[in-house]
Structure 1
Amino acid sequence: MSEALSGLASHLSVAALVAALALAGAGVAILLIRGDAPSRLAARLCMFAALTLLLVGHGFAPYEPHDLSDVEPARRLAVYVASFLWWIGLGRCLTGLAAVFVIFERKPRESRLFRQLIGVVVYLCVGFAILGQLFRIPVGAVFATSGAVAIILGLALQSTLSDVFSGVAMSLGRSYAIGDWITLEGGVEGRVIETNWQNVHLLTAAHDVAIIPNSVVAKTRIVNQSWPEPSRAAKAAARLRPTMAPAEIVAIARDALESCNLILHDPAPLVAVKALSATAIELELTGRAPDRAQLDAARNEMFDRLYRHAAAAGLRFAPEAGDGAPPPEADVATDAAARLAQSLPLFASLADGDRAALAAKMRRRDYEPGEVVIGAGAVADALCVVLSGALALTQKHGEREHELARLGAGDYFGEGGLLLGEPARGVIRAITRVVVYEIGAQDLAPILRERPELSRALGAALALHRTLEQNDEKAAAPGRAANSARRFADRIRRIFALDLNETD
């Protein structure tokens, strides 16, 4: 033993230098490969092996107990430092093994709580080993004392410990993960943004943060809305006047759903007739939003599309049962083109006579499912307004065709070719049977000259369609989109010799 200590003390400067270099190298390696747990573990094992070989090569085994009562202070300090570094290195290797085990088991969403608990247990064991092996303190007495202290602390921290162990249990049970949308019994719901030793943090739909203790979450009923799949059912109910056969009304509602952009189309959305009477037909529309965060927006779009398709088809909404006599009927144009001209926001600023004159000049076009309305590279010679049905705007990337957006009743397209002479970059194809009304340049030009403000709406439509075709999220930012709309509006005014002083 004395020879080993003498050897270690004689090479104390060399040992300290090598140990310092080893620790520095380990720190640099960890910083360089911070995101790769297996590589971090390999670096730790290499540094630990080098330190072990260094100490054993000098005749000193740090894992064996040593009696240092008769050793000089300098040598005793050398033994303490070397043994302490060795045991800490062992602890880091064990915690690295735990981290790699989680990754190898394909549990990337495992909470940090579980890994932190393993680290606490490992370093607690290392601390007891250092006390017993290095300082020769009776570990049994330490355990007995720590047990009494643990009982006192446990009684004082009962609530906190309940939260901690509840968090451990939920982490192991994997009831939810970061990013999941959950609903707790009592009506609290939100997206999980953080879990720690004591609380679960939920971001609610109102963008408030609800902080709930782990013990409360563990005792309540949890509904995970993001597992096993994140899509959620979006339902919309409507009452229409039965002026058509139910099958025709269902077909119109189904076209409205097919034209939605914010719901999934596989599986296909559903339309069900819930009730039929002399005054109303009640429909229930069901689609699936991609996730809980888009559920409200998807439901709003379903109502909007149903309203537009119903208005274009001449359908009227029925009052709720018990609301008394229905209000008097407003004058509704019976001609489809006239209904379209009246309901289209683009022509809202026109007088009734102008809308009627425009409707008389519209040309009707019918398309079957799968038929191409405008092909890639084609230059449209008319502004196309959708009366009924659903269309898809697609673009080819490589060998695959990607759907960018869907169009339905009240949407219009072809303004780029008609107004600017630009070829279409994507393909517009009918999904269902589609009825489109076309407005030629010779019919639109007089209206633009009389109503220059229409150039703003057409410029905004051009900017939106261009953004969809480019599939560019940056171009969709509000500021850039507004600039693009103004640019297109100015080009339209110059082409049609409109008043350029008309402000946006």
Structure 2
Amino acid sequence: MFGDDNFVPVILVNLLGTAGIVVWHIQGGNRPTSRLLVQILFFTGMSLVLYMAGIAPHRPDGLYTQGFGALLSKSARILWWTHLAWAIIGFIQIYFRLNRKPREARLIQDMAIAIIYLGVALSVIGFVFDMPVGTLVTTSGVIAVIFGLALQNTLGDVFSGIALTLGRAYAIGDWIHLTDGTEGRIIETNWRSTNLLTVTHNVVVLPNSILAKQGVTNLSRPDETHQIAVRVRIAATQAPRLVDEVMRSVLQSSVLIIKNPPPVVVLKAIDAIAIEVELQFHVDSVAVRTPARNEIVDLIHDQCKVGGLSLAMPAESLAFVPAPMGNNAAVSNDSFISIDLGRRR
């Protein structure tokens, strides 16, 4: 065996493969580019040695059938397939990092890595150990069906997560609003769930299957500019043009809203009691909605005092009461009376 021409190449491939594993672990995962380059160098060296020795790792081993030589030959082929898998995985990781979306594509990346490892494992079983892969795949399929029936909910979350990732409805850092009222910024996505950070600084964990069934409004696209509308009722004692001027001064005095696109004052309605006004403005981030709304409300209060405007009663608190008919009637015309309808029994 020691005089065989194939023994030295097999030993050299084992040494290169083992050294590659050691260097791969020493470099760590924080330097993916250099790690990939070293991996490619070791894999190329192993491939050249096998090629020059006339050894094909993709065909069943016929060099040694037993003893220490068979062990070295099989380990060399296993190391070659392992380094091939790592080299392909390295290219995939570099690709996602160059796209600058490594966290959003985590599910796709994990799925691709799992497929690569599965393919390499089947190749090792078939080409190195010369076992019937077809029978193994058939048996694995039966086992997969059993596990699939037992893990229906978990698999539903997994495939929903893949579908959401491929659909690119949102990304890490986006602020979303769901049809059930849940709202928050996405801080993490994984195989089973998506985590939202709400305005109350709580983390909401949503299973992907539930998230896929709801309507999702992405408040961060095309950008995080968000429109807010504040309605106010002004007593109809002043001219509408004066109300418009005062409300415009409110919007101009604000420091939390953005001026492009310009804010708008809309006179929505007028009756004998009030002029209904709507202030429409934008903020540059969903996170400042509440501070901006509070500032506008405070400015409305101050500017109404300066401009001589009075706030009108809410429409819900006004009730129409017909004037009493008779000789003793004190009022001849119908009148409006303020009633707090929320306290009526």
TM-score (norm 2): 0.83
1:19 is aligned to 17
User: CA separation of 1:18/1:90 partners in 2, compared to 1, >3 Å: closer, same or farther?
Assistant: closer
Output aligned runs, 1:36-185, within 5 Å. 36=33, 40-67=35-62, 70-72=65-67, 74-103=68-97, 110-185=104-179
Deviations 1:389-408 (A, max 9, x none): xxxxxxxxxxxxxxxxxxxx
User: CA separation of 1:21/1:150 partners in 2, compared to 1, >3 Å: closer, same or farther?
Assistant: closer
For structure 1, which segment, 118-127 or 149-158, has the greater mean C-alpha deviation from structure 2 after superposition? 149-158
> Does the 8 Å CA contact 2:10/2:76 hold for their aligned counterparts?
no
> Does the 8 Å CA contact 2:196/2:204 hold for their aligned counterparts?
yes
Count of residues in correspondence between the two structures:
320
> Does the 8 Å CA contact 2:11/2:72 hold for their aligned counterparts?
no
Deviations 1:292-317 (A, max 9, x none): 22212221111112222222333222
User: CA separation of 1:313/1:43 partners in 2, compared to 1, >3 Å: closer, same or farther?
Assistant: farther
> Does the 8 Å CA contact 1:22/1:51 hold for their aligned counterparts?
no
2: CA distance, partners of 1:18 / 1:95: 19
> Does the 8 Å CA contact 1:23/1:47 hold for their aligned counterparts?
no
1:219 is aligned to 213
User: CA separation of 1:154/1:113 partners in 2, compared to 1, >3 Å: closer, same or farther?
Assistant: same
> Does the 8 Å CA contact 2:43/2:84 hold for their aligned counterparts?
yes
The one-letter code sitting in structure 1 at the alignment partner of 2:277 is: L
Output aligned runs, 1:24-423, within 5 Å. 24-29=22-27, 31=29, 33-34=31-32, 36=33, 40-67=35-62, 70-72=65-67, 74-103=68-97, 110-321=104-315, 322-323=317-318
User: CA separation of 1:32/1:293 partners in 2, compared to 1, >3 Å: closer, same or farther?
Assistant: closer
2: CA distance, partners of 1:54 / 1:29: 24
> Does the 8 Å CA contact 1:271/1:284 hold for their aligned counterparts?
yes
2: CA distance, partners of 1:32 / 1:150: 35
> Does the 8 Å CA contact 2:250/2:303 hold for their aligned counterparts?
yes
TM-score (norm 1): 0.58
Which structure would you say has the larger RCO, counting Cα contacts within 8 Å and 6 or more residues apart? 2
- Residue 52 of structure 1 deviates from its aligned partner by 1.7
1: CA distance, partners of 2:70 / 2:158: 40
User: CA separation of 1:172/1:155 partners in 2, compared to 1, >3 Å: closer, same or farther?
Assistant: same
Q: Structure 2, unaligned stretches of length 5 or more?
A: 319-335, 339-345
The one-letter code sitting in structure 2 at the alignment partner of 1:196 is: N
Secondary structure at the counterpart of residue 6 of structure 1: coil
Secondary structure at the counterpart of residue 128 of structure 1: helix
2: CA distance, partners of 1:216 / 1:93: 37
- Residue 137 of structure 1 deviates from its aligned partner by 0.6
- Residue 69 of structure 1 deviates from its aligned partner by 6.5
The one-letter code sitting in structure 2 at the alignment partner of 1:209 is: V
User: CA separation of 1:116/1:184 partners in 2, compared to 1, >3 Å: closer, same or farther?
Assistant: same
1: CA distance, partners of 2:101 / 2:9: 46
User: CA separation of 1:8/1:306 partners in 2, compared to 1, >3 Å: closer, same or farther?
Assistant: farther
The one-letter code sitting in structure 2 at the alignment partner of 1:76 is: A
Secondary structure at the counterpart of residue 282 of structure 1: strand
The one-letter code sitting in structure 2 at the alignment partner of 1:61 is: A
The one-letter code sitting in structure 1 at the alignment partner of 2:292 is: A
For structure 1, which segment, 94-103 or 5-14, has the greater mean C-alpha deviation from structure 2 after superposition? 5-14
For structure 1, which segment, 211-220 or 124-133, has the greater mean C-alpha deviation from structure 2 after superposition? 211-220
Secondary structure at the counterpart of residue 311 of structure 2: coil
Identity score, percent: 36
User: CA separation of 1:146/1:130 partners in 2, compared to 1, >3 Å: closer, same or farther?
Assistant: same
